Structure 1
Amino acid sequence: MSLNEQGHYAEAVHIISALIENNPVTDELLNVLGLSLRRLNRLTEAKACYNSVTPTSPAGGEAQYQLGLIALSENKNDTAKQHFQNALDLNPRLTPVHRNMSLVITYDKDHPHLRDMQQLLNEGDLQPSAESELRFALYKALNDTRQYDAAFEHLEQGNSLKKQTIRYSIEKDEGIFAYLKHTFAEPAPVATSELGFRPIFIVGLPRSGTTVTERILCGCEGVTGAGELQYSTTAMSKLMQQMATKKQTKFTQADAQALRDAVGQAMQGHANGAPVVIDKMPLNFRWVGGLLAAFPEARIVYTTRMPRDQLWSLYQVCMAGSGNGFSYDLSDIAQYQALTRDLMQHWMRLFPDQIHQLDYHALTKDPEEHIRPLVDFCGLEWSDDCLHPENRESAIQTASLQQARQPIYHRSTPDWLPHEARLASAFEQLNQLGL
């Protein structure tokens, strides 16, 4: 697994920069360095790398695609669209580009990009992973034009292909969650070393409001949002492997200190001098027992959403990588919601004073009533800026980038309504699971 895949972006930048300094610069190296810099939110440097790639080289399409993603994260949709088009002009079979292009277009039935995507699909020789990306894009386009039956068919097939590609199994996660509850049947001994900042971890399911919550808290003085960091997952996975090798059944103070050292040092690189750093990686909810042993001064914000809205929001989005494998099957999503609720109830019993639950639906109905207790829980000083997360100028590099740029508002009609009949069995499963 590469350093970028493990989330060690700063280390990747250091190694690649040394390679470039001592060897001829290649377009491929520039693309890899640009990705590491983008993940560190060093977007100006990332853009410089991508702009240095030879436009007509085999790597040129990827560079234009990445420039489009950066523009999208900066809310520069017209610029993003141009970069995506540049990438497709170089290679019209880059289906991730089609999917991201679909995010910046509002389609009508005669839109040329819709025709281009249908033609590409009809050619019929795409790999499953590539076809999955294209079908998510076609879902977006056809949903815009209210061709709901055809749209849902593409969405269903896109999800099925994605699940097939990453080979997800809900049974594996059931085993991990049971292991975590057993390992952390009670609070573990805590680490005690000094740290140059105080962490806040925003956790929950993806698409549950983690991004807007981060942007709310960034309205307070002295807070920096680091986005979704891989460090906790990488470090906890390594520690659990070591525990299994040693047949160790409990998380020790030495484990807590090792986690604090590894994650704390990595997060320090995102602090930029701020005394409070937010990591909003949603699936860190799995590691709450270890994180609160490693960072007893930390606060955990647990975001939740109405189960039907949560299910639909996950199912209609193709996320990067394979870390959200449960989100490509309606039954898996329902079961994973139940697993998440069960594990979080366990953590809240163990750490009632260190976890704050924030309901997204309630937040949108009365923002200030729920934001003030959130800010107080996190030990931050109130600012009216917290009420206007849409005013933050920082880039958003998650699937919620469009929603999080809007003012907090309450949606009176759920966006799954046109597909309600097709979701009936999934909604019934939610009911049976008590969700």
Structure 2
Amino acid sequence: MAKLRIDQLLKKAKALIKQGEIDEARQHYALILESFPQNKRAQQGLAELDKLAPTTRPLTPVEVLDRLNGKLAQGKFAEVATLARGLIEQHPDMVPAWDFLGIASVNLGQLDEAITAFKQSRQLNPTDIQTDVNLGIAYQRKNQIDEAINCFRSALSRSPRHPEAHHYLGDALVKAGKLRQAEQAFGTAIRLNPGFPGCFHRLGILYKMLGNAEAAIKAFETALKVEPKSVKIWCELGELHKEQGNKEKALEALNKALTIMPGSAEAHFTLSSMIKFSADDDRIGTVKALLKRKDLDDNSVCLLNFAMAKMQEDIGNLKEAFDAYQAAGQARQKLLRYDFETDRKLFADIKATSSDLRGMSVDEERDDGQATPIFILGMPRSGTTLVEQILSCHSQVKGAGELNFVHDLGLDISCGIKPASKEALVAFRRAYLEEVTALSDNKPFVTDKMPMNFLHVGLICSAFPDAKIIHMQRDAAAVCWSNFKLHFPNDKLGYSYDLKTVRHYYRLYQELMEHWHGMFGDRLFDFDYDTLVVEPDEEIRRLIDHLGLPWEEACLAPHKNRRVARTASNAQVRQEIYRNSSQAWKKFEPYLDGAFDGLAKG
């Protein structure tokens, strides 16, 4: 420790003593003595503090609140929580103390304590709008979305012009799958406060989810006027340009992000998916150096390893690439706290409930103007994106992308948490049709290509007797390898990041699809990706014929479709259909230790 640094610490310690910050002053002296145990001035300072401590007067509540403000501003959330608990013990009716405890607990991830604190604050001061907003944020962090929405709406019922409440309501509505309502909430927040941080960014993400690339780009560009150094927004803009096939603008945005933050894991990760690297590319060394840092969080470790894997694969270092894929997957599963037994139980619950759905069918007719859904489902990376891109070339079909509506609106029915009654099915059907019709652009058919809807085939068949269901099939090893090597933004795919769990999950998928075929076989149209890429003309015509649509030549050229494909396959669907993608895994076969042996096509 340099002499100048010691002098600074000593000076700071004396200033802290004058401010009454005895504990922090003690920490400064202790820091010096860690490196220089014989430093006389630090020893004397500690000795003086030992004499001073017994006579130091207790802080008044107002002084404690002032200190809490300071520590909160410094991000010292653990200290804020400790001080707030002490103040509450002495003054249990002090509303600000409960608020400080709640805010600190949210930031520490201690959400149950945060919710308790905000509820107590609201009970003591029921008229305070901000407490409702804070409570809603805590519920949202805990993924209790309905409770969060209720809190934000409670705040807005008393203060309709509260931009923060509208903003967070929009966030919660997105998580609830109510995208059009979310758009209204964000729009109101922006009208009330055009400079509200993060609002245009959230609106851009929403428009991206809705497939409105032009509006999303405009929202991100406006967001950057408010927050020009936001690496996150530059990365989002770069990713969107990439999805649009605009490589030049995508690289420009991502390089801007790296100019602001050269160590941005997200920027390096997204950039790596767009570039074919050569062995002398300096960016490989940059990412290697970043991976040696000891201060990386799990998400950065994950993204940088995925980037490194892509780099090493490009230059032919397959063993190094495989090791990086494994390291990335381990970090991702740790981040998601993934437990395979949770998935095993989910499949078992769905099977157990399916008997209640069998024979139960909603005979309610669709309202005029409501779209007919086409479900494209199967394992992730089985070809759902390509098939949706083909169908969305048809003038009568709107490609809506991967929608969470079935999961969000119907999971409780599929799992047996909510009884599979006729009333429940009708409510699910109406809510789903309302959401997808809003995305249909007034076209009679709308695709929902959420692969994981294979979990809900029983629910879909019962609630939508008129819907078409396309079950995608592909070479099993190709599916499992593609799942393993990719980073999915969807946090429900934790199984995919380990060779063992991806294999086990694939078995569960196969068994469930066999179960669905036994119950609803006549409703499922099995469509083989590997046959499609070999005989595209014949297979596409067969698909269109099955759906009962008139033939349109545009369906033979999905690579010319300019809609946003917001999945890991977005680059592939902008190329002409090619044949060899299901063989790409074989070059890694020496490192797989037979992980995919014995797997059959699902």
**Shared fold by TM > 0.5?**
yes
Alignment of 1:202-351 (within 5 A): 202-239=376-413, 243-244=416-417, 248=419, 251-351=420-520
Query: Is 2:376–2:470's contact at 8 Å kept on the other side of the alignment?
Result: yes
> Structure 1: 5+ residue runs without aligned partners?
none
- Residue 344 of structure 1 and its aligned partner are, at CA, apart by 1.4
- Residue 69 of structure 1 and its aligned partner are, at CA, apart by 1.3
Task: Specify whether residues 332 and 192 from structure 1 end up closer, same or farther in structure 2 by C-alpha distance, changes over 3 A only.
Answer: same
- Residue 240 of structure 1 and its aligned partner are, at CA, apart by 5.4
Count of residues in correspondence between the two structures: 428
Q: Alignment partner of 2:373: what SS?
A: strand
Q: Which of 171, 178, 194 is equivalent to 2:341?
A: 171
Which amino acid counterpart does residue 53 of structure 1 have in structure 2? A
| Whole-angstrom distance in 1 between the partners of 2:221 and 2:197 | 10
Which amino acid counterpart does residue 490 of structure 2 have in structure 1? G
Matched, 1:369 2:538: yes
Alignment of 1:98-247 (within 5 A): 98-185=268-355, 186-195=358-367, 196-239=370-413, 243-244=416-417
Task: Specify whether residues 356 and 18 from structure 1 end up closer, same or farther in structure 2 by C-alpha distance, changes over 3 A only.
Answer: same
Q: Alignment partner of 1:397: what SS?
A: coil
Q: Deviations over 1:209-264 (max 9, x none)?
A: 001111122233311100111111100124457x53x6x4xx22112111111111
- Residue 58 of structure 1 and its aligned partner are, at CA, apart by 7.3
Which amino acid counterpart does residue 388 of structure 2 have in structure 1? E
Q: Alignment partner of 1:277: what SS?
A: strand
Query: Is the deviation greater in 224-233 or in 181-190?
Result: 181-190
Query: Is the deviation greater in 102-111 or in 414-423?
Result: 414-423
Task: Specify whether residues 107 and 35 from structure 1 end up closer, same or farther in structure 2 by C-alpha distance, changes over 3 A only.
Answer: same
Which amino acid counterpart does residue 174 of structure 2 have in structure 1? N
Query: Is 1:187–1:289's contact at 8 Å kept on the other side of the alignment?
Result: no
Task: Specify whether residues 304 and 413 from structure 1 end up closer, same or farther in structure 2 by C-alpha distance, changes over 3 A only.
Answer: closer
Matched, 1:37 2:207: yes
Structure that is richer in helix per residue: 2
| Whole-angstrom distance in 2 between the partners of 1:320 and 1:77 | 21
Name the counterpart of 2:192.
22
- Residue 282 of structure 1 and its aligned partner are, at CA, apart by 0.5
Q: Alignment partner of 1:415: what SS?
A: helix
- Residue 329 of structure 1 and its aligned partner are, at CA, apart by 1.0
| Whole-angstrom distance in 1 between the partners of 2:352 and 2:299 | 36
Q: Deviations over 1:48-89 (max 9, x none)?
A: 221123458476222211111110111011211111111121
- Residue 8 of structure 1 and its aligned partner are, at CA, apart by 2.8
- Residue 425 of structure 1 and its aligned partner are, at CA, apart by 2.8
Query: Is 1:28–1:59's contact at 8 Å kept on the other side of the alignment?
Result: no
Cα RMSD (Å): 2.0
- Residue 372 of structure 1 and its aligned partner are, at CA, apart by 2.1
| Whole-angstrom distance in 1 between the partners of 2:235 and 2:582 | 34
Q: Highest CA radius of gyration, 1 or 2?
A: 2
Name the counterpart of 1:88.
258
Q: Deviations over 1:152-199 (max 9, x none)?
A: 111110001101110222222222112212211223232514241111
Q: Alignment partner of 1:357: what SS?
A: strand
Query: Is 1:53–1:63's contact at 8 Å kept on the other side of the alignment?
Result: yes
Percent identity reads 29
Q: Deviations over 1:379-404 (max 9, x none)?
A: 21122222221121111111001111
Name the counterpart of 2:33.
none
Q: Deviations over 1:120-150 (max 9, x none)?
A: 1122311112110110011001110111111
Query: Is 2:263–2:290's contact at 8 Å kept on the other side of the alignment?
Result: yes
- Residue 105 of structure 1 and its aligned partner are, at CA, apart by 0.8
Q: Alignment partner of 2:578: what SS?
A: coil
Query: Is the deviation greater in 365-374 or in 156-165?
Result: 365-374
Query: Is 2:400–2:446's contact at 8 Å kept on the other side of the alignment?
Result: yes
Name the counterpart of 1:414.
583
| Whole-angstrom distance in 2 between the partners of 1:179 and 1:75 | 41
| Whole-angstrom distance in 1 between the partners of 2:581 and 2:485 | 19
Query: Is 1:191–1:260's contact at 8 Å kept on the other side of the alignment?
Result: no
